Amino acid sequence: MVSSPPVRAILEQAEQEYLHWDDFRYKFTAPEGAELEDVWRLLRLRRQSGARSFPLVSPEGQTFSYGMPDCVLRDLQFVEHYAGAQLEVLEPSTPDVVDRDRYLVNSLMQEAITSSQLEGAAITLQQGKELLRAGRKPANLYEQMVLNNYRTIRRLSDLTKQPLTVATIHEIQRGITEGTLDKPDAAGRFRRADELVRVVDESDGAVLHVPPPAESLPERLERLCAFANDAGDKPFVHPIVRAILLHFWLAYEHPYCDGNGRTARALFYWYMLKSGYWLMEFVSISTVLLEAPAQYRNAFLYAETDEGDATYFIVYHLKALRRGLEQLKEYLERKQREASEMIRLLKGKEGFNHRQLALLHHALRHAGALYTCRSHATSHRISLMTARHDLYDLARSGFLDQRKRGREYVFIPARDLQARIRAGSAGGDHDDA
């Protein structure tokens, strides 16, 4: 079989995509003189010959492993290059117009919201961003999930300064779930033996994964922490691969009553940031995962059902990372073009800082937008006093209309904003300017 050109062609194509049997059996037909099941067994033997084990073991004693096929190496090189090497990608040529902090805040908000949506939160991206920018108290469970995620993600960079411990994982899960659980005391602790936790298919209720017994969790999570902290172990594990395996490992353990997926994704971000891939703060991985949640689920299932082969999850995760980085690149290029357009429109109009220009550009595209000092301060990570100066200055210039809403002032784009920008109008019939 190995010497058969048709068989070799099937093996090479299957390895390029790292197909699971569920896909393999439908994609290929058996070559003459061979059974398709035999070709699959040959493919599995080839994969096992190059497999690398890592310290995750199922309760039944199955050791988990992973491979480094060409599709992994290709996407790993791409992610390595863009997530760590291109330091200039967020160093704009016009720093007075483009604000790096604004990119960061927007990405963190998007990750907080889409990670919650992956876990069933019925909230839109726009609603979530309005909540976070306004800084108001959450009105329901879904808003609390988003706020918890946002606060936890922002804290991850501080946690990278210390080794990973079980207490740190508890802290992450507590921050993610506080105020959202049926059992409030379940935040920040392992599930107990009497707390039945299963991963089920929401469409038909079928059990997809039964996590390890609760009594084994302390020892199993200590082993996970040792894997996270032992960067100098042998054989070498690439930091990006290690981060992905930590994501997989924690999700496999499912150590909590709730928040396991969000905690696993936070652990991935934690290790990427700890390993120096600073650009990951600007990439929302959950946004990509949300585009095809079934593929995300299958990546876990394939690993568990194919003799503990975590390569399926690595392949999927790297594709998601690559897509996230490509989206960031497209976003930055678009923002650079928009910044150039703002420079053209505001040519000769001195006195505007990059935050004001960013707001004006947003206002041009969202005529019904509403801005407050708090939302502006949150978007740009500045003080309320600085935010107030920015908005009052734009109102005095006639580009924003200022109104009273309750006890605070709000600002909305002038009705003829584009014409005023083009004409350089300073003034107009705005209230309380």
Tally helices (H) and strands (E) across the chain.
18, 6
**What's the chain's Rg over C-alpha atoms?**
25
What confidence tens digit (pLDDT) does each residue in 150-178 have? Answer: 889 888 888 998 999 999 999 999 999 99
Measured distance CA(118)–CA(289) in Å, rounded: 8
Measured distance CA(103)–CA(332) in Å, rounded: 9
pLDDT at position 320 is: 92
Cβ neighbours of residue 166 closer than 8 Å, sequence gap 6 or more: 218, 221, 222, 225
Cis peptide before 212 (omega within 30 of 0): no
Of 96-105, 159-168, 211-220, 397-406, the least confident: 96-105
Mean pLDDT, rounded, of the chain: 85
What confidence tens digit (pLDDT) does each residue in 26-70 have? Answer: 999 988 888 999 999 999 999 999 899 999 999 999 999 999 999
Q: Which helix (H) or strand (E) holds 53?
A: strand 52-57
pLDDT at position 90 is: 46
Closest by Cα among 354, 351, 349 to 421:
349
Closest by Cα among 297, 223, 219, 245 to 52:
245
CA distances from 9 to 31, 45, 135, 182 (A): 10, 16, 57, 54
Beta-carbon-side half-sphere exposure of residue 335 (alpha carbons within 13 Å): 25
Global pTM value? 0.79
pLDDT at position 185 is: 92
Fold match, 63-330 / 348-423 = no
Measured distance CA(168)–CA(266) in Å, rounded: 11
Backbone angles phi, psi at 91, to 5 degrees: -115, 80
Q: CB–CB of 349/403 below 8 Å?
A: no
Measured CA angle at 139 (ends 133, 140), to 5 deg = 120
Residue 360: pLDDT over 90: no
Report percent pLDDT > 70 for the chain.
Answer: 90
Residue 96: pLDDT over 50: no
Q: CB–CB of 39/9 below 8 Å?
A: no
Closest by Cα among 158, 57, 176 to 111:
176
Cβ neighbours of residue 297 closer than 8 Å, sequence gap 6 or more: 208
Of 29-38, 69-78, 275-284, 309-318, the least confident: 275-284
Measured distance CA(183)–CA(170) in Å, rounded: 16
Q: How confident is the model at residue 89 (pLDDT cuts 50, 70, 90)?
A: very low
Measured distance CA(105)–CA(133) in Å, rounded: 10
| Extents of the domains making up the chain | 5-49, 63-330, 348-423
Task: Identify the three-state secondary structure at position 120.
Answer: coil
Measured distance CA(317)–CA(319) in Å, rounded: 5
Residue 218: pLDDT over 50: yes
Q: Which CATH class is domain 63-330?
A: mainly alpha
| CATH code of the region 348-423 | 1.10.10.10
pLDDT at position 94 is: 38
